[in-house]
Amino acid sequence: MEITEYLASTADGKATAANSECKKLGDRLAALEDGSKRNNIRIEGLPENRESPNPVKFAVELFTKIIRENFKSDTKIAAAYRMRGSNTFRPSSFMVRFERLLCDIGDWRNCLTEEQSKAVDLKFEKHLAGTKIGDLLKYDEYCK
């Protein structure tokens, strides 16, 4: 009986250690995935084949129209492409990956000119103030 109890407690200890290690590895994987996505912007609802034949050039032109000014000279788009999805009723996501992030997420205002910052504030106020998404993005903290 003592051997059985010993084996059971040893197995339980090993299972606990394995679960702990699995959680640590899962956390590390999530951090790696988040880091790899950090420089990405996903655009939903953009009609198909708008970006042909040069998606990177299209992305620069699109962001120039949105911001109404050229990007800073050190802003470089590494890639732009469509994510193929299984939903045939709506357009696939359009992904834009920047070579590097120019500022911290909470410090985005330093990446924009004053005019661009005001334009973004107005759009956020119009579309995100008082919404769940605005709360998730901490609208009141970063945009007021």
- The whole-angstrom separation of Cα 90 and Cα 60 is 23
Residue 75 DSSP class: -
Alpha-carbon distances of 84 from 23, 27, 34, 80, 91, rounded to whole Å: 31, 27, 20, 13, 9
Listing from the earlier edge strand, what are the strands of the sheet with 77-82? 40-43, 94-98, 77-82
Q: What is the pLDDT of residue 87?
A: 67
Q: Where are the beta strands (DSSP E) in 14-143?
A: 40-43, 77-82, 94-98
d(CA 62, CA 67): 9
Q: What pTM did the predictor assign?
A: 0.46
pLDDT at 99 exceeding the cut of 60: yes
Exposed e or buried b per residue across 2-23, where buried means at least 16 C-beta atoms within 10 angstroms of its C-beta: eeeeeeeeeeeeeeeeeeeeee
Band (pLDDT 50/70/90 cuts) for residue 129 is confident
Query: Tell me, what DSSP letter sits at residue 79?
Result: E
pLDDT at 142: 61
Whole-number mean pLDDT of the chain?
Answer: 75
- How far is 54 from 26, CA to CA, in rounded Å? 37
> Which run of H or of E encompasses 64?
helix 55-67
Question: What's the confidence (pLDDT) of residue 5?
Answer: 80
* Higher per-residue pLDDT: 55 or 131: 55
Distance between CA atoms of residues 132 and 119, nearest Å: 21
Q: Is the pLDDT of residue 123 over 60?
A: yes
